[in-house]
Amino acid sequence: MKHNKIIHIIVVICFCTTLFLADGLRLTAQAQGLDLPAPTQMIPLSHQFSHPVLKGLQLDSNDPLTIKFIIEGGDKKQVSEDESAKLVRYFLAALTTPSI
């Protein structure tokens, strides 16, 4: 009976020790490895950035199936063909999605 009580006390002490100490040590070790700020330190805002935006489209009155898309580059001077195609696909997908 005495041995069971001693074992229970030892298990409770080990559990409390690992609960409070090991968790704190693990978190600080992970934060140091990733160069993260302290948990109480405020994180500064990142710089402002503007993504490319599809601003409009231009229809040809002579050929109604010819559509020119007007894309504003945002912070970029020139928008790549892939980004332009992605914006056009998003626009066309929004046209085909039914509104509820």
pLDDT > 90? residue 25: no
**What gap in Å lies between CA 39 and CA 31, rounded to an integer?**
9
* Cα angle for residues 49, 51, 52 (degrees, 5° grid): 145
- Output the average pLDDT for the chain: 82
**pTM, two decimal places:** 0.50
Contact, 87 vs 71, CB < 8 A?
yes
Provide the percentage of residues in the chain whose pLDDT is more than 90. Answer: 19
**What gap in Å lies between CA 42 and CA 51, rounded to an integer?**
26
pLDDT > 80? residue 10: yes
pLDDT at 49 (0 to 100): 84
Q: Which of 80, 79, 55 is nearest to 68 (CA)?
A: 55
The residue with greater pLDDT, 32 or 46, is 46
- Residue 28 in tokens: 């600080």
**What gap in Å lies between CA 57 and CA 38, rounded to an integer?**
49
